[in-house]
Structure 1
Amino acid sequence: MSADKPVPESPTFPGRSWLLPSALLDSDDDSGNGRPGRPPRRTARDWAVDFTCFLLAVLIGLLGVDTVRNEPDLPQTLAVVDQVLGALACAAVWLRRRRPVGLAVAMVPVCFVSTTAGGAGLVAFFTLTVHRPFRYVAWIGGASLLLTPLFFWLRPDPDISYPWALFAAVLLTAATVGWGMFVRSKRQLMLSFRDRARRAETEAALRAEQAQRLAREAIAREMHDVLAHRLTLLSVHAGALEFRPDAPRAEIVRAAGVIRESAHEALQDLREIIGVLRAGEPEDAGRPQPTLAALDTLVSECREAGMKVVLDQHVTDRAAVPTSVGRTVYRIAQECLTNARKHAPGAEVTVTVTGAPGDGLTVRVRNPAPPGEVPPVPGSGQGLIGLTERATLAGGRLDHGPEEGGGFAVRAWLPWD
């Protein structure tokens, strides 16, 4: 049922007043579910409603037959024509879904010459009011009302006076329009509720999909930040063993220890991330997440692995740094140290963290050009992208790029209220 599609209205008919059945209130419009160019498919309910409308038109037509028989000075030929037109009008009620406007327009002249067609015209007019905009009702109903006084003047009712007949016709027209507009408004309201429900379901599905996407991105960032650091250590030291098989035993033992420790830590981190995925726990479940205080430990691990790292911190009241901000600083430094280990081995890396409440935290990681040949180390290329997203989500910003002389620098600012 489409409330926007017009529905046939029938002109007012000078027949007797009649109470429309409640089935008409639930009648469907002519927008069936058939294919374009084919008649709409009618359900069992549609057939029941159409049959009820047909019976209503026939019953009102039968009342009109008694009126025709009691009319004085009505030629027999006109009486027969009146009844034939009434029968055809009742049969045409079955077209109300497919041709609502056309049926209503046709009923204006038919009801002007046929009393027995009043029921069919009433059904057509009601259908038009329900399914078509009011302008159709106004034009067709207005034409019918203009013809009503002439109809009763040419064919006066033998039982009712002329003024009362006009009053009854106008009252019946107003009642039909009012009832039809009420049904139309109710249907439009139901359509609005259904549309809102569908829109709410769609928005809920989109929100759920967006939440899942954001969760996947957060998990991907966490896996990259946590595992890339460990696996890079493992890859670098394994590559050193491969390229320097004649290295001193002490260096080989130290590299093997770093590889073992990095693999152990990577496996532990991986187990925790998989546990979070299986249990659906929040991102910060499992081991305590790193904060700004863990930055010293990270630098110590890198130094033990053979890196040259200088840490310079000038932070007012480090204990007051928000946990989320400190974690972001830690992840930025971790990723930058991992990149420096891969792309600038042997170069001294400088990590500078400054800030105060109200001014925000600034972290800067810089490394000069590598002093020697850089062995190929595979990478995903997503590290700096993930850092930029982290900084943006924290309300800050991150810039990175090469420096003069072949070095590379990353600078990030994070808010600290």
Structure 2
Amino acid sequence: MRRGLDAEAIFSRERVASTRLAMLGRLGVIAAIAIWISLTRNPPLVYYTLGACALFAAITALHYRLVPSYAQMRWLPYVFYGLDVAMVIAGIALSILIFFDHVPPAMVYHFNYFPFFFLVLISTGMSLSPRVVLWTGACIVAGWLMLYLVVDHPAGLDWDDIPADARGDAFLAYILSPDWVGGFSRIQESIVILATAGILSLIVYRARRLVARQIEAEQSRRAVREAFGQYVPDTVADAMIATGGILPPEQRRASVLFCDLTGFTAMTHRLGPERTVAVLNDYFDCVAACIGRHGGIITQFQGDAALAVFNAPTDLPDHERSALNAARDILESCAGSTFGGQEMIPRIGIATGELVAGTVGGAGRRGYTVHGDTVNLAARLEAKNKDQGTRILLSAETAAALGEGEALRAIENVSLPGVAEPVTVYTPTH
């Protein structure tokens, strides 16, 4: 339902803009015709023609003004485009009666009026409505055939009136006769208009489908961002969209950052639930921004803790260094800052190794997550900061990947829960 409302709102907005553009273009065409008539016609013909142009321009201007009312009055475009067709038909019908005396009505077909219908029909494409296009095409055909029925009379000549052996001047005598109606030609013109309207409506329909797909893709991107958090790199969002919002599980080497707060439990008792949530939201905005700047994604918020992964689901070269830089960024951003009036002291553990990453969930709720010993190790390293008096602890594998170019201090014989033998961990010296 949400997607339909969003798409409809976008179509409605673009329909107003494009239809108004079409009306402005039509006013330009009317002005050009009026100038041409003024330069090439003599009174009284020029007065009648300019008057018709002025009337058409006034209706076009009214249409321009009322376009925003389409959403409330869905019948309005049908009225205006039907009125356009009626005016063209009336102009064609009256041209012979007004401008020429004692001329058979069939002479209307000796003048090149028919192309004006295409100007009306083409402008309907800007309405972004296939139905309006088809409606206008049907109105043109109905009006054109009704004009044929009015113009046709007992003396009217048609293609079947021409003898089969008529050649040369005899053939032209029929075609150029003032009584020539040419009903088959009128039917052929009607078929051309219907075909044009059908093709144009198909083009409009396809354009709407393309816009709908773009809207769906953007909403998929938004859904991905909501699943990952507000600071998801575009590469991750694109990967999710390409797979329909689901990333299959995969095993890969990555770096995991686990961040927790010192004294959070005491703070919750002091602030109460509402203020605690407000403070955490402010703090997590900062943490997520730091992690996002270095190419990581947050896969989980739990209490006052945040879990982030680097090098999943998309490749991130030198992900160990990116994780360490993100940790430093978090500490520097929190130093001297307050969140909802509260100071925050984070502790961070970083581990590198094999893990399993993928989209999990059910009942319409899914999220991207990581599993494995590397994730558990990062959480244990974060907790061990309290015993070691440090702010960042790195696993031996992370430290080895960073190499000698990174200033690290080794802490030997550290016991970690779930690890049988004491291990060596590292902390940056600056």
- State the TM-score bracket (shorter-chain normalisation): 0.3 to 0.5
Name the larger-Rg structure.
1
Q: From the two aligned structures, give the one with the greater strand fraction.
A: 2
TM-score by length of 1: 0.36
Q: Which has the higher contact order (CA 8 A, sep 6+)?
A: 1
